[in-house]
Amino acid sequence: MGDDPRRRVPRTDVLLADPALTAAAGTVGRDRVKAAVRAAQARARRGEITPDRVRDAALAALPPPLPRRVVNATGVLLHTNLGRAALSDAAVAALVAAAGHTDVELDLDTGRRARRGRDAVAALAAAVPDAAAVHVVNNGAAALALAATALAADAEIVVSRGELVEIGDGFRLPDLLTSTGARLREVGTTNRTTLADYAAAVGPRTGFVLKVHPSNFRVTGFTAAVPVGDLATLGVPVVVDIGSGLLAPDPLLPDEPDAATTLRAGAALVTASGDKLLGGPQAGLLLGQADLVHRLRRHPLARALRVDKLTLAALTATLGGPATPTHTALHTDPGDLRVRTDRLRESLVADGCAAEVVPAVAVVGGGGAPGVELASWALALPERYAAPLRLGDPPVLGRVVRGRLLLDLRGVPAAADEAVRAAVLAVTGAT
């Protein structure tokens, strides 16, 4: 028995002092690491693994840190499955700072309670001077639900049949709206709705007229929709769900409505998401007339839709900070993308990995700017590398087009090019 490898199983205290296992204890807790170590030791004693594998077996049995950070080389800039907008460094720093105790609801000068989220509200108001008042809730759907509840419970929401959309994941706007107790008064048809249609439906039972931007599809051909300016003549509040969170016009996205222009056209209230084109955290933005925003803010439901301090911090930093990664990805010149992609290819080829550079088309995605095609360039690899890259560390997600895997750098921060290079080399086996 003297030479029985089972007797060489490392001791618990030795394993727990291992740097990798100590680091893991810092994230998943010492108890879990201990349990993983004991289980690995037991496997070694049973002869299932050799004693020198105990440390790695314990590490492998620990839960991976969640969520996994991934590289979005899909060419879909706001990918809902990948968490939509990636936050700016400024927003990340604000999130981290906000994780401790903060002055979120306290005025440090007076020592008295202060309005929660006042910094985010001030930053949003400063970004959209056309809004008399603003409020922030949990997401775009919450903004709509609050508007419907506070302004149209037991009343009618007049809305075009062409705008009763499904947002995603099976959630449909009409169901969301009626779940609040509001009744829908549908007008017009799928492809055409006129001002006369709205006018015929508006009356004493009207809570508001709703206009929803079709942000994830387009109706083309024989179509008609009524501009906000015309709806504003109907004598009832016009609520506009612009979707993407664009605050001011972007010449690159001529068909995407923005909050400032929509308010100036006469909208009483605009609702939008924080994590689409605004490039911030998940949030619902409400901008508009002071009396309406005040009613929303004071409604009991507002408390249930309240945003947490992390979101408020990230939103404030997004609104007041430098260009977001979303903005940068959207506005990067295709020529610059080509230079980056060529450089990546050359360095891969130098390491023995064959790859090509091909023209590609990126899209905004995530419920924004359907039909907008952004010229881009992609690294093309054989399709068989798609799964190993997805399962790599970090996972790199591309897009398979006609038997080839395309890695589009438009949505990848330039600082991550090196990680893409290393990931490709790892899966293609080149050195």
Residues that bind ligand PLP (CB under 6 A): 139-141, 167, 212-213, 215, 241, 243, 273, 284, 367
How does DSSP classify residue 210? E
Beta carbon nearer to ligand PLP, 59 or 167: 167
Beta carbon nearer to ligand PLP, 127 or 167: 167
Provide the minimum distance between the beta carbon of 172 and ligand PLP in the complex, in angstroms, as a whole number: 11
Provide the minimum distance between the beta carbon of 248 and ligand PLP in the complex, in angstroms, as a whole number: 18
Do 367 and 167 form a contact (C-beta atoms < 8 A)?
Answer: yes
How does DSSP classify residue 163? G
Beta carbon nearer to ligand PLP, 44 or 239: 239
Beta carbon nearer to ligand PLP, 237 or 284: 284
The sign of the dihedral angle between the CA atoms of 137, 141, 142, 143 is positive
Beta carbon nearer to ligand PLP, 325 or 366: 366
Beta carbon nearer to ligand PLP, 142 or 155: 142
- Beta-carbon contacts of 136 under 8 Å, excluding residues fewer than 6 positions away, are 117, 120, 121, 124, 274, 283, 284, 285, 286, 307, 311, 312, 315
Q: CA-CA distance, 289 to 239, in Å (whole number)? A: 11
Q: Which residues of 271-310 are buried (b: 16+ CB within 10 A; e: fewer)?
A: bbbbbbbbbbbbbbbbbbbeebbeebbebebbeebebebb
Q: CA-CA distance, 211 to 272, in Å (whole number)? A: 12
Provide the minimum distance between the beta carbon of 171 and ligand PLP in the complex, in angstroms, as a whole number: 8
- Beta-carbon contacts of 166 under 8 Å, excluding residues fewer than 6 positions away, are 172, 173
And the tokens for 189? 């048809």
Provide the minimum distance between the beta carbon of 126 and ligand PLP in the complex, in angstroms, as a whole number: 22
- Beta-carbon contacts of 377 under 8 Å, excluding residues fewer than 6 positions away, are 334, 337, 338, 341, 357, 358, 359, 360, 408, 409
Beta carbon nearer to ligand PLP, 16 or 176: 176
Q: Which residues pair with 404 in a beta bridge?
A: 382, 401
Provide the minimum distance between the beta carbon of 11 and ligand PLP in the complex, in angstroms, as a whole number: 52
Provide the minimum distance between the beta carbon of 233 and ligand PLP in the complex, in angstroms, as a whole number: 23
Q: Which of helix, strand or coil describes residue 94? A: helix
Angle, CA 388 vertex, CA 362 and CA 21 arms, to 5°: 115
Provide the minimum distance between the beta carbon of 138 and ligand PLP in the complex, in angstroms, as a whole number: 8
Provide the minimum distance between the beta carbon of 368 and ligand PLP in the complex, in angstroms, as a whole number: 7
Beta carbon nearer to ligand PLP, 215 or 341: 215
Beta carbon nearer to ligand PLP, 150 or 277: 277
Beta carbon nearer to ligand PLP, 241 or 408: 241
The amino acid at residue 143 is A
The sign of the dihedral angle between the CA atoms of 348, 349, 350, 353 is positive
* Bridge-based pairing state of the strands 156-160 and 183-187: parallel
Residue closest to ligand PLP, measured at CB: 140
Provide the minimum distance between the beta carbon of 81 and ligand PLP in the complex, in angstroms, as a whole number: 13
Helix pair angle (309-320, 89-98), 10° resolution: 150
Provide the minimum distance between the beta carbon of 239 and ligand PLP in the complex, in angstroms, as a whole number: 12
